[in-house]
Structure formats: C-alpha cells, structure tokens
C-alpha cells in the first residue's frame, strides 16, 4: 500500500529521486490516445518558420477561435536527459513564434525524445510549457521554475497490480448496473450539461477555454490522466475558470477487455493525478470510447464514481463539418440532456459560440454534468 501511494505521488508531481534509474513507461494494451482527425481528415493547420530555427524544432502550428491565436511547437530531442538544453529549445520556440507572429496570444511547447516519439499517443513528452504573451518576461526570468512549465525527471513505472486493487476486485459480488449511473438530468427543466472528452490537449485547450469564458458557460472536462500529468497547467486553468474536472481513465484504454483490477487501476491512477492538481475530489467518470460492460460500471461504483453517459453526440471527432456538428447539436438538444464533444476539434471550437446562443434563445441553461445531476430532483 505504501509503495503504491508513493508511486501515485510521484505520478502527480512528475518527479523522481535523483538517484533512481530511469524506468520505461508501462504500455497498456488497447490504449488509444485520440488525436484529430478521426474518420475524415481535418484541414491542415498553418505553420510558422523563421531564420535560425534550431533543427530540433520539428513543427510549429497555430490556430484561432476567432478571438485569440495560439501556437504549438513540437520539439524532438536526442541524447542524455538535459533539462537545460530542453529549456533552451522551449525558449527558442516561444521567442521564435512570438517574433514571427505578433498576433499570438500564447505559445505551447511539447518536447519529446526523437527516438521514441510516436505522436500524441506515444510515450509522454519530457517537457511541456504554456507561455501566454502577457507572461513572456516572467518565463524568461524564471526558466525551469516557471509555473506553466513541466519537466519529467525520469520515466515512471506504473505498478501492474497493486494489492489493494486486487483485493477490491475480489470484493465485487455483482455484475448488475448500479445506481451510480447518470444518463440525463430532469426532463422538466430547461437545462443541459456541456461535456468535453479526451482533455487536455496543447494548442486547442486554451482556445476552447477562452471560447467558454467569452460565452459565460461552464463545462465538464473528462480528462485522460496521462495527458493531465504532462499538461498540468491546463488542468489548473480549468479549475480556476470554474469548470469541472472528471475522470476518463489514465491511458484512455478500452475497458471491457480488462480485468477488474486493471480497470480500477486506470480509474484510480487518473484520480490521483486529477485530485492532486485540483485539490478536489473527482467523482465523475466516463469510459473511453463509450465502451463499457456491467462489470466496468460496477468497478467504477466500488470506487465511488458516478458514470456519466450522454444524450447528444454529434460525432465531432470525425470532422463532419461545422454545419453538420451544429445541426446535430441543435436537433438533439433536450431538457436534461448531456452534450458530448471533444476538446481538440477545431470545428467544434468554431461552432460552439453559435450553439450556446441558440441554446440561450431556446431558453436552455448550459452547465456542468455535476451541477445538472445535483439539480435533478429539485
């Protein structure tokens, strides 16, 4: 138990003792890390380049929500762990992007090892940063101590079968669905929940949070634990802006094929990360890909989680087009509804203000899933 708790604490902080040898990240069979596009290819994002850019800066893309622009730099490094070198490349990325495009509001950076880089769903980055233009001088001054910079001290191992989780598996006596299931809110109230799966993502997260802020709407973010661990600054942004942070497992693995202890481990590891960052209990859960079994739901219940379903899924992840997403959202909007969207779809960010205005004209109040559930019997 003690060993497991220490491991969870290290996962939350992203640090490891200086004398510890690096250990390879555990892989999770069936884990799928989402990255738009889905079934249909999304439009290519515009890129930035500048004279003297270090070759390790692989790509710098930017996007807009119509009000602010955000850039994301992908950096690929080789050789021994060298946080000072990584920081230099982060600074080059930030300074170069702001210098090339003065209209940028923020620059995010993800530093990966080139030899193991497999895209967003592969091994985790070794350093990330999120630098708003307003805090550029602070970043230049603080460097590695900058609040919105995360560095992985070593690769962390995830224990395969903590004893307390195995014991909890033995304690599961029923495969019947529990009462800890939330399908929809009250059908007598003109209210609906706005939820986003697969959070957080660099580049898109600040655009989405800015859009929600301008629309004066709070939402529930179902966060992947491994994403939250390496982009903790976005989780802090969500909490500070009044949004709800919920559990979407640690690896975004499909759960029905896993044993009870593995399912419990996925949920608990994600909770340890999210609760460590938000200092709030995480009680809401949604299974990745919407795939679950009766036993999956029972494990979640045993862990004190409420599984949140949805009434309105416009399949925005497949990039069907802004008009299609908007039409589907409006068509299926209903009292007590739960809207399922994704945080890294540019089309969703584009249509979201229009959908909020339509919902408002129809008399709906949009809110978090937790708030909708709490008002169900009022």
Query: 47-85 b/e with 16+ CB inside 10 Å = b?
Result: ebeeeebeebbeebbbbbbeebbbbbbbbbbeeeeebee
Two tokens, residue 108: 């995010």
- Concatenating the DSSP letter of every residue in 203-257 gives THHHHHHHHHHHHT---EEEE-HHHHHH-HHHHHHHHHTT-EEEE--SS-B--TT
Q: How far is C-alpha 269 from the geometric centre of its chain's CA atoms?
A: 14
Of 26, 251, 272, 15, the closest CA to residue 154 belongs to: 15
Catalytic residue among 72, 184, 342, 343: 342
**Cβ 73 vs Cβ 108: under 8 Å:** yes
Compute CA distances 232 → 9, 76, 135, 226, whole Å: 14, 21, 17, 10
Which of 179, 190, 181 lies closest to 337 in space, CA to CA?
190
Which of 108, 197, 237, 313 is catalytic? The answer is 197
Task: Give yes or no: 84 in active site.
Answer: no
Neighbours of 36 (CB within 10 A): 22
Q: Under a CB-based contact definition with an 8 Å cutoff, are residues 354 and 326 in contact?
A: yes
The two structure tokens encoding residue 138 = 């602070």
Active-site annotation holds for 237: no
Residues 224, 344: contact at Cβ < 8 Å? no
- Rounded CA-CA distance 45/33 in Å is 20
Q: Which sequence positions are flagged as catalytic?
A: 197, 342
């Amino acid at each position: 138990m003690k060993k497991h708790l220490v491991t969870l604490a290290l996962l939350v902080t992203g640090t490891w003792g200086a004398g510890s040898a690096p250990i390879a990240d555990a892989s999770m069979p069936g884990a799928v890390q989402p990255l738009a596009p889905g079934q249909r290819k999304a439009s290519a994002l515009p890129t930035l380049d500048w004279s003297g850019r270090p070759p390790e800066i692989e790509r710098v893309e930017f996007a807009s929500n119509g009000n602010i622009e955000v850039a994301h730099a992908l950096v690929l490094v080789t050789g021994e762990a060298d946080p000072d070198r990584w920081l230099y490349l982060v600074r080059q990325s930030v300074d170069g992007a702001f210098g090339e495009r003065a209209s940028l509001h923020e620059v995010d950076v993800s530093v990966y090892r080139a030899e193991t880089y497999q895209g967003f769903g592969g091994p985790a980055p070794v350093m990330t940063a999120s630098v708003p233009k307003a805090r550029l001088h602070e970043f230049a001054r603080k460097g590695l101590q900058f609040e919105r910079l995360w560095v992985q001290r070593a690769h962390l191992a995830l224990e395969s079968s903590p004893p307390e989780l195995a014991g909890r598996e033995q304690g599961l006596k029923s495969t019947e669905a529990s009462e800890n299931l939330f399908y929809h809110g009250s059908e007598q109230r003109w209210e609906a929940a706005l939820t986003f799966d697969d959070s957080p993502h660099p580049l898109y997260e600040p655009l989405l949070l800015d859009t929600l802020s301008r629309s004066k709407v709070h939402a529930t973010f179902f966060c992947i634990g491994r994403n939250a661990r390496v982009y903790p600054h976005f989780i802090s942004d969500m909490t500070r802006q009044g949004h709800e942070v919920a559990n979407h497992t640690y690896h975004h693995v499909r759960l029905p094929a896993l044993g009870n202890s593995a399912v419990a481990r996925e949920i608990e590891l994600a909770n340890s990360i999210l609760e460590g960052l938000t200092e709030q209990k995480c009680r809401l859960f949604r299974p990745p890909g919407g795939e679950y079994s009766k036993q999956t739901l029972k494990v979640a219940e045993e862990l004190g989680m409420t599984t949140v379903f949805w009434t309105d899924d416009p399949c925005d992840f497949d990039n069907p087009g802004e008009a299609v997403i908007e039409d589907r959202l409006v068509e299926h909007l209903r009292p007590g509804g739960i809207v399922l969207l994704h945080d890294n779809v540019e089309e969703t960010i584009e249509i979201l203000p229009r959908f909020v205005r339509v919902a408002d004209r129809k008399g709906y109040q949009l809110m978090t899933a937790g708030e909708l559930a709490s008002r169900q019997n009022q």
